[in-house]
Amino acid sequence: MNRAFSPIVQSVFIALLAVSSLAYAAEEKKAEVVAKADPAKGETLYTNGDSARNIVACVSCHGAAGNSTITQNPKLAGQHEAYIAKQLTNFRSPDRNNPIMTPQAKALSDEDIKNLAAYLSTQSPKPGAAKSKETLDLGKQIYRGGIASKNVPACAGCHSPNGAGIPAQYPRLAGQHQDYTVAELTNFRNGTRKNGVQMTTIAERLSDKEIKAVADYIAGLK
């Protein structure tokens, strides 16, 4: 009897295997479609928001094409796609809780985040400028050479000498507003921002004067 049913069982098994393979291929194709970002949709969401989901237009705080003119709000133009996506995702968690950005990030879908990141990463950042000549040398020293006595590494080691950063690893810093950089380094130092262990360790070793100096130097990088 086993021999009689063996071909039938074999046929059923082959049929099930074929169906499973087709289903797997379909899911893979679907995943590829979802994973592909759409910068045009990102631009629309960035510029107009989505009132139906209580998503405020990003442009109102971060400026046209990501070039914020409000010094407390970061410039996002030209920022690495993976970094923007990571930060928006982090805003959903206690690691980077923020009264303004957390509700916004929670209202965004994963697809929204990818689209916004894709759009902003292709925009051209407008340069900034250092303001304090008195601390420029100190900021340059910290950024390029670190502070050996405090075991503070050179910022350039991760963020590159010109502040361009390293895609998918470290953010672009060049031209960023001084006020924003000071605020974030301070947040890392006091534990308010918890989504960068390496940055927390470094910031804990910096004084207020050193934070302001390196932030000013970063603003002038191009």
Give, for all 222 residues of the chain, the pLDDT tens digit: 444 445 554 554 454 444 455 555 555 555 445 569 999 999 999 999 999 999 999 999 999 999 999 999 999 999 999 999 999 999 999 999 999 999 999 999 999 999 999 999 999 999 999 999 999 999 999 999 999 999 999 999 999 999 999 999 999 999 999 999 999 999 999 999 999 999 999 999 999 999 999 999 999 999
Residue 32 in any domain: the answer is no
Residue 188 CA to residue 96 CA, distance in Å, equals 10
Residue 9 CA to residue 12 CA, distance in Å, equals 5
Residue 29 in any domain: the answer is no
CB 57 within 8 A of CB 130: no
Residue 12 in any domain: the answer is no
CATH of the domain at 175: 1.10.760.10
Residue 153 in any domain: the answer is yes
Alpha-helix runs per DSSP H in 170-207: 178-190, 197-203
* Number of CB atoms found within 10 A of residue 87's CB: 19
CB 135 within 8 A of CB 216: yes
Q: In terms of residue numbers, what domain contains 116?
A: 39-121
One domain for residues 166 and 117: no
One domain for residues 107 and 152: no
Residue 44 in any domain: the answer is yes
One domain for residues 160 and 197: yes
One domain for residues 142 and 96: no
